[in-house]
Amino acid sequence: MSGFLALLPFWTAAMDFTPTDERRMLADTLGRYLATEYDFEARKRAMAAPDGFSRAAWAGMAELGVVGALFDEAAGGFGGAGFDVGTVFEALGRSIVVEPFLGTLLAGRLLAAGGADGELLASIIDGSTLATAALFEADGRYDAMRVAMRAERSGEDWVLTGTKAVVPMLEAADVVVVSARTGGQGAAEAGISLFAVRRGAPGVEVRGYGLIDGARGGELRLDGARLDASCLVGPEGGAAPLIEAALAAGVVALSYEALGAMGAARDATLDYLRTRVQFGAPIGKSQVLQHRMATVEIEIEQARSAAINAAASLDGDRHTRERAVSAAKYTIGRVGTLVAEEAIQMHGGIGMTWELPLSHYAKRIVMIDHQLGDEDYHLQRYIDLGQRGSPAITPQDLAS
Amino acid sequence: MSGFLALLPFWTAAMDFTPTDERRMLADTLGRYLATEYDFEARKRAMAAPDGFSRAAWAGMAELGVVGALFDEAAGGFGGAGFDVGTVFEALGRSIVVEPFLGTLLAGRLLAAGGADGELLASIIDGSTLATAALFEADGRYDAMRVAMRAERSGEDWVLTGTKAVVPMLEAADVVVVSARTGGQGAAEAGISLFAVRRGAPGVEVRGYGLIDGARGGELRLDGARLDASCLVGPEGGAAPLIEAALAAGVVALSYEALGAMGAARDATLDYLRTRVQFGAPIGKSQVLQHRMATVEIEIEQARSAAINAAASLDGDRHTRERAVSAAKYTIGRVGTLVAEEAIQMHGGIGMTWELPLSHYAKRIVMIDHQLGDEDYHLQRYIDLGQRGSPAITPQDLAS
Amino acid sequence: MEIGFTPAEEAFRDEVRAFLREKLPPRTAAKVLGSKRLTRDDLAEWHALLNARGWLAVGWPADQGGPGWTVMQGFIFDLECALAGAPRVIPFGVKMLGPVLMKYGTEAQKSHYLPRILDGTDWWCQGYSEPGAGSDLASLKTAAVRDGDHYVVNGQKTWTTLAQYADHIFCLVRTDASVKKQEGISFLLIDMRTPGVEVRPIVTLDGEHEVNEVFFTDVRVPVGNLVGPENAGWTVAKYLLTHERTNIAGIGESMQALNWLRRIASRETSNGRSLDRDPLFAARLARVEIDLENMKTTNLRVLATAQRGGAPGAESSMLKIRGTEIRQELTSLTRRALGPYAQPFTPEALDDGFNGEPVGPPDAAPVAAEYFNNRKLSIYGGSNEVQRGIVAKALLRL
Amino acid sequence: MEIGFTPAEEAFRDEVRAFLREKLPPRTAAKVLGSKRLTRDDLAEWHALLNARGWLAVGWPADQGGPGWTVMQGFIFDLECALAGAPRVIPFGVKMLGPVLMKYGTEAQKSHYLPRILDGTDWWCQGYSEPGAGSDLASLKTAAVRDGDHYVVNGQKTWTTLAQYADHIFCLVRTDASVKKQEGISFLLIDMRTPGVEVRPIVTLDGEHEVNEVFFTDVRVPVGNLVGPENAGWTVAKYLLTHERTNIAGIGESMQALNWLRRIASRETSNGRSLDRDPLFAARLARVEIDLENMKTTNLRVLATAQRGGAPGAESSMLKIRGTEIRQELTSLTRRALGPYAQPFTPEALDDGFNGEPVGPPDAAPVAAEYFNNRKLSIYGGSNEVQRGIVAKALLRL
């Protein structure tokens, strides 16, 4: 790891990028756990397990407090800030962990924001209940506000109909937080509600499948699924702000996961460049590869800055937060593709083999661009947010 | 010059890229003339002349038939095809000639298409009358259909009011072909008419200025300028197709001019890389610069192919022609910026000096992107043309 | 002025199309156009159909069984095949070993092997790369030691494409370790059914098995299988590497990929409209489309030179670099176009006889895998870094 | 969690702003913000105003006349100055020679020169590059031969920024041609009013006169003007080159350039709407804006390290590369934004006292010229190629 990365991983206080002691401890603990319990072979075993992840590792990390770090005290956790989420996900990215963290983060934050009961949240945080979030649909692409799933009242109950696309770790989930329209249409923010759907409820159909990055996902079909009134999460028709905030945390998570994975891919590539000999010299002596790796390094640092900006914005006002979030995901998408493609190219054929961890890092990095909105989606969103009335940058802007 | 460029400069018949004998002769004649009469010092003198170009060189080239090559026989010329225009302008680009060819090409083709009298065209072709075209306005940016200048009938006459922007070589022009609205508004194609405005007519105000690439341009203000009926060129209100066709020829001209200038800049850079010694070796031994020059070379060849496609399309159907024209100008814009910036960068400081021809080539190449529509304008236009109903590529498409 | 083929070339193209309509098995074409997996039988069948028509050995002289086509005809043929969804002819026998044998083989080798290449009796693969010898091929270590009438071969080859289908392999082997590395190499034909030959699959990042490692342990090869003089293998190898370059830019494949991409982009929606009307995506699509239009003409210009006898040298490197960049960009955009549905990985959907319900859009299954698989395009056949070096040195004289 | 400065730093920033509001001459600020030409007097005036406030010699120790600021204060000061339109302090005396003299100068040199740098009595320029010694600076040939109490200097320097305003130049000269090239170089102070010194302008492609050639013909320089030991000039030069890097990314300048670009893009129209709503242009604008946002944070991270005592080394190269790329992209977009009006070249509009009618939009005149002028950013101060090499070697250990 370069000195630059090691020195300045976080922005945790005004002008002070060193992590707090708590976060440093969390990072150390998780890093140690993953190094000993979750090497590349263990990851393969986790992928081959019935659920597509390791129940033991999940329980182990929950016990270490890794899940709790994703939530604030009000939700029963002991973290929940952007940099807490970042600390966890960067470590996960470094080991390309396939455990169900993203779904847990999204569902847990939605449930907490929606005032779900503490018992459910506690069981999510202690690892005994698995939760995920189903917020996207085939026709909505990356827009979580384009919800076609309908929820209609039937007496005291709700009846839900529609399909959710590529839900992370759907099969194993005990609870799925789904978005559905109780009003409005198209991509209107008004009229979207959230529901907690229990595993195996009638009218709930799950189709699971593997993902190219090694994790699992699924299609969730609700065909007149009947839920009682207690399943409504948050205000009826007013869930859009909750969803936006949860997705902001999700983007921070994915951005840091990408940073972890990009760092590992970069380090593997540097090692290869230093040791692989062709024409009598390490290929890292090639000036062309040196300059391209310099660009890779600069871009990764820019991506880290983007992730820092997004993490720092999580508790800020909506406009600042959403601009920073879209800027980060755009940057991560753009840089991730570059890093993954350059890492494979510089490895040559060996970089394309299933056997080498590098190829799996590359796949994960590229697939992060396909979760919660890609480079183009977030660039356009950044533009649209700006045109809804952002002032030109002022001297004050730097400190905001 | 690389062998590749030398071998395949034109596409002049089915699958045969060698130039016709006539064009080869034209290229040779013009090339010889420019080499002896229009070196870099002569160009400086031309720029310093009162008109901003060399009357003697202009007359000399007209006498050689260079102007006539831009027009077909019906117009009194002896060429006029896309590859004729290309032959002339590539040679002009190689010597960054500042003579009034672009305005002449545009105005001449508009006049010919509009059925102007043969005497005027003959005097343009023999070099005795200077013509230019004023088709763009400040608020229209690169869209020649966004015409705000009004032409209103007053008895038998027309009265024109409005301003035209950055008209090439305006001050010296004896005749300016201007577009004005006799109907319609905004960017509507219907309602645009052409008029031939004579130098010094009442209500005609000219403000000339130098351009950063060494040529001259000007603002044309018509303040109730009164023209007699004979000044109308082509159908009243129906000039849009004439303008589009003339601009297509203009884009072919600029594309080939850019190819000539890019070739010269590339050659100068290769020479510099071969001869400039730093750290005991020619800087061209740097692998990084080698790879970047390889990219430059590949891009220039792609740009030449784009220009060939546009030149070949000039006589074809409108849709094919306009797609090829926008594809070419987009490509030339993109590649031109790359070539100009890389040429300067690889030269280092010396590449930024006024003294070195290279810097003037770079300026001309970049400024070509600011004439008749830039990279972004033509990419968007290419997209819009496609969405107006282009079929998907079929096997037949390659031969079309 | 019209851009296009000559009337004779147009007529030829019609002939190719008619043949493809009549003979190309629709089941095979559907697999190719849908990026499904081909079986060994699919490939062998197409090989036989081409051979029956006399169109298999495109680069061979007419008197050796080649069709006697011009360079341009070869290009048109490749193009039409790609657009129609014909499988690529496995090149190792027909395009590589055949010309080598014609130039360097003994009469016995020619009369034995050439007919068997054409009729498909022998299925060849190529034993060049080794774990320590990739771009730096001359560093290869697989040793062939003379022992009476045989060479005894020990060592390992890698990245051996479709070795799992092959029964023969042509190899570069080291026959003299005491001289400069290029000078001790020989070109040897090995029957893979000989004891001591072992093929182990390499699974690539997309989960596919296309390449292999081939191990040689005391493999006895008759000295009659040596092609060219002993220790002259580098010359033979160089001849082979410069041969057969008409389709290096992969224009047909890229046109096919563009069709696929366009279909997906016109169907996928973004912000309530079709993706090809999304400003950023439309711009990406237009850029690569224009680049491909330009590339077609660039390729035709190179071919026109070759047609007139100018041998394309470093120009091939330009075509290879830009052609592979375009193909990679096309599969990259197709991956982007699918949005979230680029993630599902259902390799079983690519097999013969799969009739499950697809995940997401009907044509999504191969897309992301193909994107990752196509990273190989800029690596193999001389990496794009190697090709840029060739352009700089040979064309630009740097 | 909030990104921002500490309360003390906020207070400092307010102090800087108050000073700028009060003291920065509005006429000068208007020129800077409008990319007009500054006169020598404009520069000298600002120099004096800063000196009067004690804020001129930012990098100097407090006991030598520096303000005693932290790294972060220096950054805030540079940023606020750029945003307010203050001219950059000419660095050759204050930022370069000053620290060199403090480290290597004799007591006599320090007591003579340092006060004169501060009060503006001496105006320094830098004599490093030569026609044959650019990136390869150690190849310099300008010779200084000892003759009694003097060196006799013969040779030529080039790219000497603002030599036309200067009366002193510090030079690297060759004092021993018989040893390894880095070992025979000395650091020499030369009064430009000495006979034999000639300054000739170099006009750059934008028509501006900013750099010069400086010729030395038998120029006699007292040996007391040698800084550091004879033949130790390379060490002195390296010290100077690594000094003063807080503002290498040019964040303030880029923010200023972004403001300018936004103003133009919101006013220019394309297809009947403002240019910043044109999809392709809006995307270009957003990309560079995001890149700059990221760069701000990257820069602050490096400064935070420096603040804690970690000396930024290769990180400076990263800031230089990306910072200049962003600045170049911003001027490139501003040029694009003007459309056809990027072409007119009216250098007279950049001078004091011009009150003609502008051609095209009011702020168009400097834009294209500045785009071309800013090509220098990736060339000077160690080209971006040199910087990438440093990153690869020092940071990535390749």
B294 forms beta bridges with none
Binary contact (D294, A17; C-beta < 8 A): no
CB spacing of D344 vs B217 below 8 angstroms: yes
CA D197 – CA D204 distance, rounded (Å) = 22
Kindly provide the ipTM of the predicted complex, given to two decimals.
0.95
Residue with tokens 């840091």: A256
Check CB contact of B287 with chain A, cutoff 8 Å.
yes
Phi, psi of C167, rounded to the nearest 5 degrees: -120, -5
List chains adjacent to chain B, taking adjacency as at least 3 C-beta pairs closer than 8 Å. A, C, D
- Per-residue pLDDT band for D244 (boundaries 50, 70, 90) equals low
Q: What is the pLDDT of residues D205-238, one digit of tens each?
A: 999 999 999 999 999 999 999 999 999 999 999 8
| Residues C60, C91: Cα–Cα separation, whole Å | 13
Residue of D nearest to C279 (CA): D279
pLDDT surpasses 70 at A251: yes
Q: Which of D271, D359, D379 sits opposite B348 (nearest CB)?
A: D379
The secondary element (H helix, E strand) that includes residue C46 is: helix C40-53
pLDDT in the model for residue C304: 83
Chains B, C: CB pairs < 8 Å: 163
User: Which chains share 3+ C-beta pairs under 8 angstroms with C?
Assistant: A, B, D
The model's confidence at residue B16, banded by pLDDT at 50, 70 and 90, is: low
Tell if the CB–CB gap between B17 and C294 is shorter than 8 Å. Answer: no
User: Higher confidence at residue C165 or residue D352?
Assistant: C165
Q: CB contacts < 8 Å between A and B, how many? A: 8
The CA distance from B69 to B91, in Å, is 13
* Alpha helix (H) residue ranges in chain A: 3-7, 21-37, 40-48, 55-64, 82-94, 101-113, 118-125, 240-275, 287-313, 318-347, 357-368, 375-387
Q: Which CATH superfamily is domain D248-396 in?
A: Butyryl-CoA Dehydrogenase, subunit A, domain 3 (1.20.140.10)
Arithmetic mean of pLDDT, B40-49? 96
- The average confidence (pLDDT) of chain A is 92
Residues D45-73, mean pLDDT to the nearest whole number: 93
**Which tens digits make up the pLDDT trace of C277-311?**
999 999 999 999 999 999 999 999 988 887 777 66
Find the range with the poorest average confidence among A3-7, A193-197, D50-54.
A3-7
Confidence of residue B393 (pLDDT cuts 50, 70, 90): very low
pLDDT of residue B399 exceeding 60, the answer is no
Contact (Cβ atoms closer than 8 angstroms) between residue C307 and residue C371: no
Statement: residue D346 has pLDDT above 80: yes
Q: Would you call A142 an interface residue with chain C, using a CB distance cutoff of 8 Å?
A: yes
Return the amino acid letter for D355: N
pLDDT tens for A256-303 read 999 999 999 999 999 999 999 988 999 999 999 999 999 999 999 999
Q: Give pLDDT, residue D312.
A: 66
- Residue A145, Cβ neighbours under 10 Å: how many? 18
CB-based contact B293:B65 (threshold 8 Å):
no
The 10s digit of each residue's pLDDT in D30-46 is: 999 999 999 999 999 99
Share of chain A above pLDDT 90, in %: 88
Query: Considering only CB atoms, which chain D residues are within 8 Å of C279?
Result: 279-280, 283
Average pLDDT over residues C328-347: 97
Distance, in angstroms, between A375 CA and closest chain B CA? 20
**Residue of A277, A363, A380 lying closest to C372 (CB–CB):** A363
Cβ-defined contact of B286 to A286 (cutoff 8 Å) = no
**pLDDT(C6) > 90:** no
B-chain residues near C6 (CB < 8 A): 14-15
Average pLDDT, chain D: 93
The CATH code for residues C124-230 is 2.40.110.10
Q: In the predicted model, what is the mean pLDDT of residues D283-308?
A: 92
Per-residue pLDDT band at C211 (split at 50, 70, 90): very high
Check CB contact of B279 with chain A, cutoff 8 Å: no
Cβ distance A291 to B286 less than 8 Å, yes or no, reads: no
Considering the candidates D230, D244, D289, D325, report the single residue annotated as catalytic.
D244
Q: What was the pLDDT predicted at A12?
A: 38
Amino acid D375 reads: R
Residue from the list C345, C368, C378 with its beta carbon closest to the beta carbon of A345? C378
Side-chain-facing half-sphere of B2: CA atoms under 13 Å: 31
Q: DSSP assignment of D312-339, as one string?
A: PSHHHHHHHHHHHHHHHHHHHHHHHHTG
Mean pLDDT, rounded, of chain C: 93
* Cβ atoms of C192 and C219 closer than 8 Å: no
Distance in angstroms (rounded) separating the CA atoms of residues C98 and C113: 8
Check if B379 contacts D (Cβ < 8 Å).
yes
Choose the catalytic residue: C198, C208, C244, C289. C244
Could you tell me the sign of the dihedral formed by the alpha carbons of D51, D53, D54, D58, in that order?
A: negative
Residues of chain A found within 8 Å of residue C342, distances taken between Cβ atoms = 212, 367, 370
Predicted pLDDT of residue C245? 60
Q: Do residue D339 and residue B370 have CB atoms under 8 angstroms apart?
A: yes
What b-and-e string marks burial along A168-178, b requiring 16 or more CB atoms within 10 Å of the CB? Answer: bbbbbbebbbb
In this structure, what are the phi and psi dihedrals at residue D156, rounded to the nearest 5 degrees?
-145, 135
Please report the DSSP string for C162-176 in residue order: TTTT-SEEEEEEES-
**Domain ranges within chain D, ordered by starting residue:** 7-89, 124-230, 248-396
Task: Look at D345 and B380 and tell me if their CB atoms are within 8 Å.
Answer: no
* Residue A157 three-state SS: strand
Contacts of A138 in chain C (CB under 8 A): 341, 360
The 10s digit of each residue's pLDDT in D136-170 is: 899 999 999 999 999 999 999 999 999 999 999 99
| C-beta atoms of A341 and C375 within 8 A | yes
User: Is residue A395 pLDDT above 50, yes or no?
Assistant: no
Task: Give C 164-183 residues with CB within 8 A of chain A.
Answer: none
N- to C-terminal Cα distance for chain C? Answer: 38
For the segment B58-96, what is each residue's pLDDT rounded down to a tens digit? 999 999 999 999 999 999 999 999 999 999 999 999 999
pLDDT score for D3: 52
Cβ distance of A309 and D388 shorter than 8 Å: no
Q: Helix, strand, or coil here: B57?
A: helix
Question: In angstroms, rounded to a whole number, what is the distance separating the alpha carbons of residues D122 and C337?
Answer: 64
Structure tokens at C216: 């040689």
Whether B292 has its CB under 8 Å from any CB of chain A: the answer is: no
Question: Model confidence at D4, in pLDDT bands (50, 70, 90)?
Answer: low
C379 contacts A352? CB cut-off 8 A:
yes
CA-to-CA separations, C208 to A43, A197, A199, in angstroms, rounded: 20, 37, 34
pLDDT value of residue C240: 82
Given a cut of 50, whether residue A396 has pLDDT beyond it is no
Task: Please name the residues in contact with C43: beta carbons below 8 A apart, sequence gap of 6 or more.
Answer: C87, C90, C165
Query: What span, in angstroms and rounded, lies between the C-alpha atoms of D148 and D145?
Result: 10
pLDDT at C312: 66
* pLDDT score of B302: 97
Interface-testing mutation among B278, B291, B293, B342, with chain A (most A C-beta atoms within 10 A) = B291
pLDDT at A394 over 80: no
Is the CB of residue A291 less than 8 Å away from at least one CB of chain B?
yes
Answer whether residue D19 shows pLDDT above 70. yes
Chain D residues near residue B378 by CB distance under 8 angstroms: none
Nearest to A81 among D1, D10, D285 (CB): D1
Catalytic annotation present for C183: no
Predicted local distance difference test score (pLDDT) of residue A191:
98
Residue B397 or residue A250, greater confidence: A250
pTM: 0.95
D392–A291: do the CB atoms touch at under 8 Å?
Answer: yes
Question: Which residue on chain B is closest to A286 by alpha carbon?
Answer: B287
Q: For B335-363, write each residue's pLDDT tens digit.
A: 999 999 999 999 999 999 999 999 999 99
C157: alpha, beta or left, given left = phi > 0 and alpha = psi -120 to 50? beta
Nearest to C257 by CA among C355, C323, C342: C323
Residue A8 has pLDDT above 70, yes or no: no
